[in-house]
Amino acid sequence: MGDPRGFMTVDRQTWSERDPGERIGDWNEFHLELPVAGLQAQGSRCMDCGVPFCHTGDLIANMAAGCPVQNLIPEWNDLVYRGHWREALDRLHKTNNFPEFTGRVCPAPCEGSCVLGIHEPPVTIKQIECSIIDKGFEEGWVVSNPPGVRTGKKVAVVGSGPSGLACAAQLNKAGHEVTVFERADRIGGLLMYGIPNMKLDKQKVVQRRVDLMASEGVTFKTSVEVGKDLPAKQLMSDFDAVVLCVGATRPNDFFAKTPGRDLKGIHFAMEFLTKNTKSLLDSKHEDGQYISAAGKDVIVIGGGDTGTDCIGTSLRHGCQSLVTFEIVPQPPIERAANNPWPQWPRVLRVDYGHEEAAAKFDYSRVKGKELPGDPREFSIQTSEFVGDSDGNLTGVRTVRVDWSKPQKNGPPFTVVEGSEQEWPCDLIFMALGFSGPEHLIAEELGVSTDGRSNFAADYGKYTTSVDGLFAAGDCRRGQSLVVWAINEGREAARECDRFLMGSTMLP
């Protein structure tokens, strides 16, 4: 630790952002870099704690705590403080194949477990991570590094999201011939089509890494859906091992039995986000092959990152109004007593989409609004979708719920009597999470599934019920974070390498 008083003398500072009213006019990334001197000062706040909880990922109270890829955070914080950026990049790449992804889209469970965060704002870990890798690319330090020797073994990776790419990168590093199969027309999975461009630039960031991997020898095949375009059994016979990294892509539909669910104008969030990004990349939206929120009254049901992305996307389309419903109560501003450090802090966060909505619309006039200037309505349940005679969505009816009064042998809340309300809307986007992977490949190969319908494979081993077939990422653990997907992809590559060679040098 270069400055033993850094955490006492330097205040936390994060990257600044473009003005919300300005940035909703384009699809460019909205973060602005901190100057180098500012980043070094932030690195000095890392306090050389006796046990750094930030860099060892675990699940505490069923939430991520610390870094799932075991980033050497105190080390590269100190190196940045000292100005040793090249060495910091080397440390960063030891544990994380894609820090340019996690530095932009990870919710930073490392910061939630920062020891300094017990009493002071935590170290700006995510910002420093992103700045290290961005500087590495700018300086030309990140270059193609193909393996010197090939093993002669062939491995197929199905799915090109963060788990599949991490797995492919590690297996290629071990010298195997790796082919990645992706059913979409572009490589990247969730990174390409599930996360909007303003959070993660597709050409400058995602495609740049894909091109680098291709130059290192990884083969990518797009528009190939294993189980349809290519039989899964043929894949098993053509390759020495196969790793399934197909994600959890079956959306939850908690409103399947809600009156009016079949009205036109109700969409799953990922359908909206995927079509938007594809049309943006294909034609800058000139082809019209996307769900436009322009001039529409939009309601987003569900929170989290996906719900926020629906907000930001709708605003950039030019929606007429926007509100988002969350059935859960509003989180506290600060940690509650039942949410102690180093758990992930369950506190109220204002994300980029919330800031943008508040900049465009006046929410202070909404009757009963708890948070003036915020698009979210908490403790609210959708009871009915309303439509016209042509089957078009025109509104939604809701009730308020009271979580302090759980029902015996029923839901953990009670409907508030007299709280019925009708909201006008033309579009509803359901950001309700995912129920697990699609089962086409599993059914063809006879892969066992667990009680949550995920592919059954123990964490740390990743072996399925089929010899030579591995599973990693969301298709194995269920819907999770990008950083957990990278963790599982790396570890699955290690176990696949062990299966092929009898031993492994992969971490």
β-strand pairing of 427-430 with 297-301: parallel
* Residue type, position 160, single letter: S
Asked if 259 contacts 396 with a C-beta cutoff of 8 angstroms, the reply is no
Contact call for residues 164 and 209 (beta carbons, < 8 A): no
Q: Is residue 51 located within the same domain as residue 199?
A: no
Task: For residues 299 and 35, give the distance between their C-alpha atoms in angstroms, rounded to a whole number.
Answer: 38
Question: Is the domain of 442 the same as that of 348?
Answer: no
Query: Structurally, how many domains does the chain consist of?
Result: 3
Question: Domain ends where: 414, 430, 446?
Answer: 430
| Boundaries of domain holding 45 | 6-138
Alpha-helix runs per DSSP H in 300-451:
304-317, 352-360, 440-445
- Same domain? For 219 and 269 the reply is no
Mean pLDDT for the chain? 95
Is 168 domain-assigned? yes
Per DSSP, what are the bridge partners of residue 427?
Answer: 298
Pair 119, 165 in one domain: no
| 350/417 same-domain check | yes
Name the domain boundary from 138, 168, 201.
138
Query: Do 196 and 295 belong together in one domain?
Result: no
Give yes or no: residues 84 and 224 share one domain.
no
pLDDT along the chain (507 residues), means of 10: 83 93 97 92 91 90 92 95 97 97 97 94 96 98 97 98 98 98 98 98 98 98 97 97 97 96 98 98 98 98 96 98 96 94 94 95 64 84 98 98 94 96 97 96 96 96 98 97 97 98 97
- CA–CA distances in Å: residue 351 to residues 17, 94, 328, 354, 403: 12, 30, 17, 5, 24
Query: Could you tell me if 349 and 362 lie in one domain?
Result: yes
Q: Would residue 146 count as lying in a domain?
A: no
pLDDT tens digits, 338-361 = 999 999 999 999 999 999 999 999
CA gap 184, 152 in Å, rounded: 28
Look at residues 385, 404, 430 and tell me which one is the last residue of a structural domain. Answer: 430
117 is a domain residue: yes
Expressed in angstroms, the distance from the first to the final Cα of the chain is: 26
Instruction: Identify whether residues 282 and 230 lie together within a single domain.
Output: no
pLDDT in tens, 157-193: 999 999 999 999 999 999 999 999 999 999 999 999 9
Asked, for residue 149, whether it belongs to a domain, the answer is no
Q: What is the CATH number of the domain that holds 12?
A: 1.10.1060.10
Residue 466, domain member (yes or no) = yes
Q: What is the CATH number of the domain that holds 330?
A: 3.50.50.60
Residue 330 in any domain: the answer is: yes
d(CA 334, CA 324): 22
Q: Does 221 lie in the same domain as 169?
A: yes
In a domain, 143, yes or no: no
Residues 398 and 496 in one domain: no
Inside any domain, residue 506: no
**Which H/E stretch holds residue 85?**
helix 85-95
Residues 299 and 376 in one domain: yes
Sequence-ordered list of residues with C-beta below 8 angstroms from that of 448, at least 6 positions apart, any chain: 455, 456, 464, 465
The confidence score (pLDDT) of residue 1 equals 61
